[in-house]
Homo-oligomer: A and B are copies of this chain.
Amino acid sequence: MSKKIAGPEIERLVQLLSRLPGLGPRSGRKAVLALLKRRNDLLVPLSEALNVAVEKIAECPKCGNLDTVSPCSICRDQRRDAGLIVVVEEVGDLWALERAGVVSGRYHVLGGHLSPLDGIGPDKLNIASLVERARAGEASEILLALNATVEGQSTAHYVSEQLAPLGVAVSRLAQGVPIGGELDYLDEGTLAAAIKSRRRL
């Protein structure tokens, strides 16, 4: 806020909430008002949940997932397919795959994608630890489930080169027409990928 309109404690709260993705100064103020108006069913529980997050939630040292236990509950889950490691850019991607319930194996979260212009080289991502897991023979297949963007795909290319000498099978997600997709609305790149990877019936 350009002009101070409430005490410093309220200003600080507005300023911090405004920095959450999807919120700005205006919606940050609305969020603070909602919190202060709903003290017992929103403000106090959120405050407690954040205290728990600060104290307990940390990155899994093995795969980079976020959890309150270390290693994370997915790494600990003995029912998971130990032979498959699914590599994702962010924890949000891991959540998306878990919501879909389509991954039998475990994960490895890179923490982003390569972006030389932003100074994000291989050393800024969890690539060395992935190579280490592969070298230790932890998995027979590593599936690169990175975003189908230029950055995601060039990161996948780099990672697959690092894994190549280790003899582990490296795969990537299929590309093509999304389920429910109408050809008329799809971009050229998707159509080209769908033609190129066509399947015999």
A49-B12, A99-B3 are known contacts. Are A42 and B19 too (CB-CB below 8 A)? yes
Q: Quick check: A67 and B16 within 8 Å, CB to CB?
A: no
Contacting B at CB under 8 A, from A47-87, are 47, 49-54, 56-57, 66-69, 73
Nearest B residue to A16, CB-CB? B46
Give the interface size bracket for A toward B: 35 or more
CB-CB < 8 A to A54: which residues of B?
Answer: 39, 43-44, 47
Nearest B residue to A32, CB-CB? B53
> Is A90 part of the contact surface with B, judged by Cβ < 8 Å?
yes
CB-CB < 8 A to A73: which residues of B?
Answer: 7
CB-CB < 8 A to A3: which residues of B?
Answer: 98-99, 101
CB-CB < 8 A to A13: which residues of B?
Answer: 46, 49-50, 52-53
Contacting B at CB under 8 A, from A113-140, are none
Q: Quick check: B23 and A45 within 8 Å, CB to CB?
A: no
Q: How far is the CB of A104 from chain B (nearest CB, A)?
A: 15
Q: Quick check: A22 and B22 within 8 Å, CB to CB?
A: yes
A98-B3, A98-B5 are known contacts. Are A53 and B43 too (CB-CB below 8 A)? yes
Q: Quick check: A49 and B9 within 8 Å, CB to CB?
A: yes
Assembly stoichiometry (copies): 2
Nearest B residue to A36, CB-CB? B66
A16-B49, A43-B53, A50-B50 are known contacts. Are A68 and B9 too (CB-CB below 8 A)? yes
- A selection of 24 A-B contacts at a CB cut-off of 8 Å is A3-B98, A3-B99, A3-B101, A5-B98, A6-B66, A7-B67, A9-B49, A9-B53, A9-B57, A9-B68, A10-B53, A10-B67, A12-B49, A13-B46, A16-B46, A16-B49, A17-B46, A20-B42, A21-B30, A22-B30, A43-B54, A44-B54, A47-B50, A47-B54
Query: What residues make up the interface of A, taking CB atoms closer than 8 Å to B?
Result: 1-3, 5-7, 9-10, 12-13, 16-17, 19-23, 27, 29-31, 33-37, 39, 42-47, 49-54, 56-57, 66-69, 73, 90-92, 94-95, 98-99, 101
